[in-house]
Chain A
């Protein structure tokens, strides 16, 4: 098996990287892939909590890298998805305690056993970021339609290019269709025009993400959740399936008639962004 390492990054903190990592990882595992998600946010780990695996951690990433345990001992198997594993970050160390080459070596070994290795990158562009991107063949850049998040995403895309990761794709998170329609928020086309990278997912703001995080169950399991459905589609796109991009602004019904039409299964607008 020769797996693929994908880094989930953003530059700015709080845009939904960890949530996206948990959901994309779960989505890929639900498609019968063998998946490992690695939390590289050493000192500020959270991927374990989002996935509901916080009580199962015995060994962490630093233990593996410093040789205190074997890789298999640090792999925490997910409760629901069959072949989904987590390697948690160390909570009591700092980001400088591992280097890029060590993470590259680990990912190369994992690639022999798994289809996908998803690396959850810490916020910022310091050593933790450099470590996280070092092993990646592809990158998913998460942003929200806000000036500060998009600006940071642009900087990160530039740094990814400089590191020869030229196929970064964009996840635009927390789009608020009502605000876009009222002219209060930038839409997906504004963001894509500015960053000039291909999108892989347009995720609407969704309260169910909060409840799913509270429960430790990724929202991808919730078929009623619009964001969960988009994470399913993102996983399928990563897995090579061609699924048109669905803009939440066009998808969400605006009038009572639209809602009726949607209930009847018509008027579902899908638009492909190139």
Chain B
């Protein structure tokens, strides 16, 4: 009986519907996080002006990229402080 239930559960877990759900989930998440070069450039410009309203940094990011981690995305940016000396 237990063996039968276990087999049913295993069958359900790998059913075409379940496989489709998982593959679709993964594809859609990847698509949603993909950013084209012009979009990344526009994002960088927006971020620069937003950050400069609050921090005294130079207008150029020395580093700016997006990193995906599972279902989250990190924006990694680095800017040099303005030299007022």
Which chain A residues have a beta carbon within 8 Å of chain B's beta carbons?
Answer: 146-147, 150-151, 154-155, 158, 180, 183-187, 190, 194
Contacts and interface: CB of A to CB of B under 8 A. Distances in A.
Interface residues of B, number: 14
A158 B24 contact: no
Contact of B16 (A154, A158, A183, A187): A183
A155 B31 contact: yes
Interface string B8-50: 0000100111101101110110011000000000000000000
A30 to B, nearest CB: 36
Q: Helix, strand, loop or mixed for chain A's interface?
A: helix
B28 A190 contact: no
Q: Helix, strand, loop or mixed for chain B's interface?
A: helix
Nearest to B16: A184
A154 B17 CA distance: 18
Contact of A147 (B15, B18, B23, B32): B23
A81 B12 CA distance: 47
Contact of B17 (A158, A186, A194): A186
B9 to A, nearest CB: 12
B33 to A, nearest CB: 11
In this complex, the member of B18, B23, B24 whose beta carbon has the largest number of chain A beta carbons within 10 angstroms is: B24
A195 B4 CA distance: 35
A151 B28 CA distance: 6
Nearest to B19: A147
B24 A147 contact: yes
